Amino acid sequence: MTEKPRAADPGDTGSTPGGSAPAEPATGDAPRVVIRNNRKISQPAEPEGTAADAGTDAPAEGLVEDAEVVVDEIEVESGADGAAPAGPPVVDAPAEPVDAATSSTLGAELEALRADLDERTRDLQRVTAEYANYRKRVDRDRGVVAEQATGTVLAALLPILDDLDRAREHGDLVGPFGSVAEQLTAALGKFGLTPFGEQGDPFDPTLHEAVAHQTSADVTEPTCVQIMRRGYQLGERLLRPALVAVADPE
């Protein structure tokens, strides 16, 4: 019995008369575009013996032959990391030179700005000084008003203090009444009320009001020899002068 030629395996990559093995690009070669052309190969009728002898070399009827057609080779220049090279380097355009007129204009504008800044600084300093003086004046006026109001109240209480002084001179300021008198004097002293006028003090016309004059060999200057009514001060302010008798030297 005559054997029929064996059909070749379509996946066989061996050499066949009608086809060739696909070309492998060498490592490092530039990539190329390859077009594969699949065509059908038909075999003419041959004698039986001849077919048997060449069964392994001739392709069977109906096989498809792969043909490679190299269209063109494309040269691709790649970088060190395989990426496409970047475009041409960008070169910065040189700065345009500044002419003398522009420089002079900029200098004038700078001087104007400096002059404006100096003026604003002086204005700020003047306003700050005026505000500081205003605050001081307001605080001083507020203190004066408060002192005047306190002085008005204390001046209304001075006759009571005069009665307490007379009662003390006669020895009537004892017991509970004496304790109340001491507490009243201490309370008024907290508001800045200070009594003055003692026998033997030098006569001061700004603090004392002389109601009697006499001469004495015991004094070398005008001296208060008798206190008829004590005087009072509220801080540095004279609230009431003292009534005194003055002895002048002979």
pLDDT tens by residue, 142-168: 988 988 899 999 999 999 999 998 998
Residues 6+ apart with CB under 8 A from 157: 188
CA distances to 164, 167, 173, 183 from 178, in Å: 9, 9, 5, 9
What is the reported pTM? 0.48
* Contact between 219 and 250 (Cβ < 8 Å): no
Give CA–CA dist 212/70, Å, rounded.
147
Residue 88: per-residue pLDDT: 54
Give the 3-state DSSP-derived string for 188-243, with helices as H, strands as E and coil as C: HHCCCEEEECCCCCECCCCCEEEEEEEEECCCCCCEEEEEEECEEEECCEEEECEE
Question: Tokens representing 172?
Answer: 């009537």
* Contact between 237 and 214 (Cβ < 8 Å): no
Which is it for strands 231-234 and 193-196: parallel, antiparallel or unpaired? Answer: antiparallel
pLDDT tens digits, one per residue of 75-108:
444 444 555 455 555 545 555 555 777 888 888 8
Q: Please check the confidence at residue 247 and state whether its pLDDT lies above 90.
A: yes
- Kindly report the backbone phi and psi dihedral angles of residue 233, in degrees, each rounded to the nearest multiple of 5, phi listed first: -125, 145
What angle do the packed helices 100-169 and 175-189 form, to 10 degrees?
170
CA angle, 34 then 35 then 36, to 5°: 115
Beta bridge partners of 233: 194, 238
CATH topology (fold) of 192-250: Nucleotide Exchange Factor Grpe; Chain A, domain 2 (2.30.22)
Looking at per-residue confidence, does 126 or 70 come out higher?
126
Domain locations along the chain: 192-250
Residue 95: per-residue pLDDT: 54
Burial degree of 141 (CB within 10 A; 0-12, 13-18, 19+): exposed
